[in-house]
């Protein structure tokens, strides 16, 4: 997986893993005991996700093609979320993140 730093103009900063292979994408966050605050998984070209098999709650941000947050859903394990029409990417993040509808994420590759 590649790593990208995602930031908003309000100062929210996330270290996002981005799956590059089908295997990485299918696995996603499965098998992890938790997700660290400030960490996320960015699923490119996705309109929905599920939390079946997860062990922790997540904040799911649906993003348009320009990485604007169009909806945020806080969810528990075992949920299948319906596709969002305008969504082009999905960000799975720790519940404590401060993303808001309307935020635009800027991408930078690399590590902090």
The full set of domains in the chain, from first to last, is: 2-109 (2.60.120.1140)
pLDDT tens sequence across 6-25? 999 999 999 999 999 999 98
d(CA 2, CA 36): 17
**Pairing state between β 2-7 and 13-18:** antiparallel
- Angle 54-59-64 from CA coordinates, rounded to 5°: 115
- Report DSSP state, residue 78: T
Q: Which of 90, 96, 110 is nearest to 29 (CA)?
A: 90
pLDDT tens sequence across 86-99? 999 999 999 999 99
The pTM of the full predicted model, rounded to 2 decimals, is 0.91
> Is 110 a residue whose pLDDT tops 80?
no
């Amino acid at each position: 997986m590649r790593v990208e730093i995602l930031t908003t103009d309000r100062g929210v900063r996330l270290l996002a893993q981005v799956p590059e292979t089908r295997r990485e994408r299918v696995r996603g966050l499965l098998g992890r005991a938790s997700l660290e605050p400030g960490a996320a998984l960015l699923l490119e070209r996705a309109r929905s996700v599920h939390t079946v098999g997860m062990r922790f709650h997540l904040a799911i941000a649906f993003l348009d093609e320009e990485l604007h947050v169009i909806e945020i859903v806080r969810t528990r394990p075992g949920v299948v979320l319906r596709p969002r029409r305008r969504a082009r990417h999905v960000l799975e993040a720790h519940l404590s993140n401060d993303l808001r509808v309307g935020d635009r994420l800027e991408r930078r590759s690399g590590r902090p």
